[in-house]
Chains A and B, each alone.
Chain A
Amino acid sequence: MTDDTRSEITLRVNDETYRLAVDNRRTLLDALRDDLNFTGAKKGCDHGQCGACTVLVNGQRVVSCLTLAVAADGAAVTTIEGLAGDGELRPIQEAFIRLDGFQCGFCTPGQICSAVGMLAEHAAGWPSAVTRNGSPHRAGELTEEEIRERMSGNLCRCSAYPSIVRAILEASAREAVAG
């Protein structure tokens, strides 16, 4: 059903295709959570300031609370629920558990999705603000400092930051293989 206030869109979420009619004001985050029941992505601020809603859209990390659902029409979305395949955790998820990269766990889906997107950006050669002698095609080594800089859009009030950085660094090589 489409009228002045609603639009019909197609979302490909975690390799399944969904057609849905959404309120034009609906964010991608609310569509994922309330229409499609992917509640892993969290609403921490609804302003793009905390990163808890981070998902991958066409392979890149976005804050889904600042993305209108209608603007994601036709996109491929990966949420935290879609990161692990066939019940097997990805290396980064396993590292978060083993190294205790979370406490309350509320920001965790966003941290992990953001980390997966960040590792892809780094692998593609994107430099960051702390990259020395960076160029558009040279990201340098993935150090703890690089991870901290690149992950600073994901707040964690429990402040599991040191364990999160360790988990990302430790899993980065295996994540590159897992793709």
Chain B
Amino acid sequence: MNPDEIVAAVGESRPRIEGRLKVSGSAHYVADLPMPNLAHGWMVTAAVSRGRIRDIDATDALAQPGVLGVLDHRNTRRLNPDIAHHFGPDRSLPLLQDEVIEYAGRPIALVVAETPEQARAAAAALRVTYDAKPHDIEFSMNHPATRPASTLFGPEADTGDLEAELAGSAMVVDELYHTPEESHSAMEPHVATAWWEDGHLYAFDSNQGPFGISQVMASLFLIDPERVHIRAEHVGGGFGAKTICGAQIILAALAAEHLQRPVRVALTRRQVFLATGSRPPTEQRVRIGADADGRLRAIHHHAAFAQSPLAEYIEWCTEQARTLYAAPAIRTELSAVPLNLLPPCSMRGPGASPGSFAFESAIDEVAERLQIDPLQLRLLNQPVVSPVSGRPFSTRRLVQCLQEGARRFGWAQRDPRPRVRREGNLLVGTGVAAVAFIAGVFPSSAAITAETDGTFSVRVGATDIGTGARTALIAVAADALAVGTERVRMHIGDSDLGLAAGAGGSRGTTSCAFAITETAKALREKLGDSARPVTASVDTTPLINWQPAEERYTYSAVFAEVTVDPATGEVRVRRLLGMFAVGRVINPLLARSQLIGGMIGGLSMALHEESVRDPLTGRLVTADFAGYHISAHADVPTIEADFVADYEPQDPSGFNGLGEIGNAGTAAAIANAVWHATGTRHRTLPISLSRVIERAAAQDRPEAVSVA
């Protein structure tokens, strides 16, 4: 066969390979997979935010029909207390080990029965009493417990003489921004089915990276990692909430071992809200000094986020300040505030999304006060090299994103004055935001077998949580092997496939694509003198350059048009346009879907999403979709996402990840558009109806404010 006749698969828009399964109900997610002799576990969570369990009286629960057992801290086997996770030691993982409660929603027991109804009814009959202690959920960057955040991601920035540059600036913006606790809200609630055979743990688990979860489970249960086998064939979304080792699989494995039979633990939607991780609230102070002509002189971004006393976490909000614009002085600071809250975990665009909201709102305020077009201000301050490290960028097509987006959006016709456009009762405004998201790869491995029938079996531990990884990686493999996609058999979603990056950090597909490309290279070298079947495998760990000479980011410019009803306070997004520089695009159809989905997530963050806790109990008030609003069909306008030509030189195929960049810049673009529509700057998310009304009222009646 002549390889020249093969049409390159990368760059082609192709529908998802598993599409037919998904539209016909035949794609089997974890809760769909049958299991003989299955028992059902019902998780019980703590009702107090801090304290100790005094007693769990299971007498009535155990007397109910079908009940097989109740697991709690008194009868559960010991787990590794020194377990570590992404950000360091993690005391939230060893479940049912002691009486201590550090947040409401902490799993404290599991009731197991023959049917889910029996388990649920028995769980309701469990009598739990507590010795409650005073809790603290009151988040503020001035909290006495505030301390510097972990520097696992590297030191914060401190270049130039910040105070001198601020003092020398013609104008200084100095504002506080707030974002709330948020919930990932993947449509598939976390669920796992676990069973043990001959000292091996097997599980179907709804997660974003079965290999990584298998390593944590092995460490937690103190068994050889080779004895843990986790599958995640189809996963109903994750958005970060399934990057962590979830309570569902830990509890299912404990109960399956205890009862010597398979156990499924399916979390309810309420339990997903209470017990599976959240984006922490943030408070951010941004100071920016500029000359009258718009040149930035000083950037200071101090972000604080809440975390749990149980585990370290990083909400890296300060990334934008160190890379988006040039300035002689840049300082970033990151603080953590331990509180009695659900331990946070990365949520789509972690750090970048709340950080971009604060930072790109502040940049817009600079433009507003200097009366410079916000697009021009952004173009004026583009750095040639990284403003903090001095290193060049491997590729940086942000200017092209801004310019092409402006052209398509019709930015040139924009009247810069706020609150001057009306359509009937509605105020109309437009806004822009730029954003960068760090890119790279994590170590992964792949194996490819050239089969005797001419097909190629590709085995890589990737997960497809809706990213399109399965389809994208088939295209990557086909091109790397110089064959048509119909000859590639892709096997993913299984920890037994070996080391692989999870679908997280915008690196899942890029990391696995790198491994596949290198493996295909090795296989083609072998193929010449070997009889089929022949297999090659490569682990990219030694191939990754962790100290590259150039900084690697993806970029985007987001443009938004909103209407605001001053009577109801309702903000509606009418147009949303994102231009993206994300390296070479593997599958434009799927990539566009992912970016548009991310942008809608940003819209939802800007206008709808807010976890609310009762200050008296610390408990989550908004633990369902009636209380916690995520965007629905009627909230979403026509959205355009497109790409500027780009190629990532650090990747052998030119790829970069794009899982989070769509989300990261959108909230700021919408908030800036709301300012343009109303003349009111909203520095607290979400920009809800009540906030719009209250702020407008305060502005219209300044005397009332001064009296208060």
Binding site for B on A (CB under 8 A): 23, 25-26, 30, 33-34, 37-47, 49-50, 52, 79-81, 83-84, 89, 93-94, 96-98, 100, 102-109, 112, 144, 147-149, 151-165
Within the complex, the shortest CB–CB distance from B686 to chain A, in Å, comes to 16
Residues of chain B lying within 8 A (CB to CB) of residue A144: 638
Query: Does B25 lie within 8 Å of A106, measured CB to CB?
Result: no
Residue of A nearest to B33 (CB): A39
CA gap between A23 and B121 in the complex, in Å? 12
Whether A80 pairs with B25 at a CB distance below 8 angstroms is: yes
| Min distance, Cβ A39 to any Cβ of chain B, angstroms | 4
Q: How far is the CB of A167 from chain B (nearest CB, A)?
A: 10
B266 to chain A, nearest CB (A): 8
Report the bound CA distance from A107 to B592 in whole Å: 19
- The CB with the most chain A CB atoms within 10 A, among B19, B25, B598, B599, is that of B25
Q: Give the residue of B18, B20, B466, B630 whose beta carbon is less than 8 angstroms from that of A89.
A: B20
Stretch at the interface among B77-85, B233-241, B252-260, B378-386: B233-241
Sample 16 A-B pairs with CB under 8 A, ordered by A number: A30-B117, A37-B34, A39-B25, A44-B189, A46-B268, A49-B269, A96-B19, A102-B16, A102-B22, A103-B468, A105-B23, A148-B634, A151-B633, A155-B625, A159-B598, A164-B633
Interface string of B205-245 (1 = CB under 8 A from A): 00000000000000000000000000000111101000000
A81 to B24 CA separation, bound complex (whole angstroms): 6
Contact between A157 and B639, CB atoms less than 8 A apart: no
Q: Is the CB of A161 within 8 A of B624?
A: no
Q: Which residues of B contact A107 (CB under 8 A)?
A: 187, 236
- 9 smallest CB-CB distances across A and B, nearest first, come from A40-B25, A106-B236, A104-B466, A105-B22, A103-B466, A159-B600, A80-B25, A39-B32, A97-B19
Whether A46 contacts B269 in the complex (CB less than 8 A), given A25-B117, A102-B22, comes out as: yes
* Contact in complex: A79, B633 (CB < 8 Å): no
Is B20's CB under 8 angstroms from A105's CB?
no
CA distance A41 to B269 in the complex (A): 16
**CB of B115 closer than 8 Å to a CB of A:** yes
Query: Which of A30, A84, A106 makes the CB contact (< 8 A) with B24?
Result: A84
In the complex, chain B residues whose CB is within 8 Å of the CB of A84: 24
Docked Cα-Cα span, A103 to B235, in Å, equals 10
- Chain A: which residue is nearest B628 at the CB level? A49
A98 touches B15 (CB 8 A): yes
Is A105 a contact partner of B633 (Cβ separation < 8 A)? no
CA distance A1 to B646 in the complex (A): 66
When chains A and B are docked, how far (Å) is the Cα of A41 from the Cα of B121? 24
Q: Which residues of A contact B638 (CB under 8 A)?
A: 144, 162
Q: Are A163 and B189 in contact (CB under 8 A)?
A: no
B116 within 8 A of A: yes
Chain B 570-614 interface residues, beta-carbon cutoff 8 Å to A: 589-590, 592-594, 596-601, 604
Distance in Å: Cβ of B573 to nearest Cβ of chain A: 12
A163 to B601, CA, bound (A): 15
What chain B residues lie within 8 Å of A25 (beta carbons)? 117, 121
Contact of A160 among B24, B186, B597 (CB under 8 A): B597
Other A-B contacts than A42-B31, A106-B186, 19 sampled, CB-CB below 8 A, are A30-B117, A39-B25, A44-B189, A45-B269, A47-B624, A97-B16, A97-B20, A97-B23, A103-B237, A103-B467, A107-B187, A109-B23, A147-B633, A151-B633, A153-B632, A158-B237, A158-B593, A160-B597, A161-B600
- Residue of B269, B593, B601, B633 near A44 (CB, 8 A) is B269
| Known contacts A157-B237, A158-B237, A159-B636; A104 and B269 CB within 8 A of each other | no
Within 8 A of A (CB), among B5-19: 15-16, 18-19
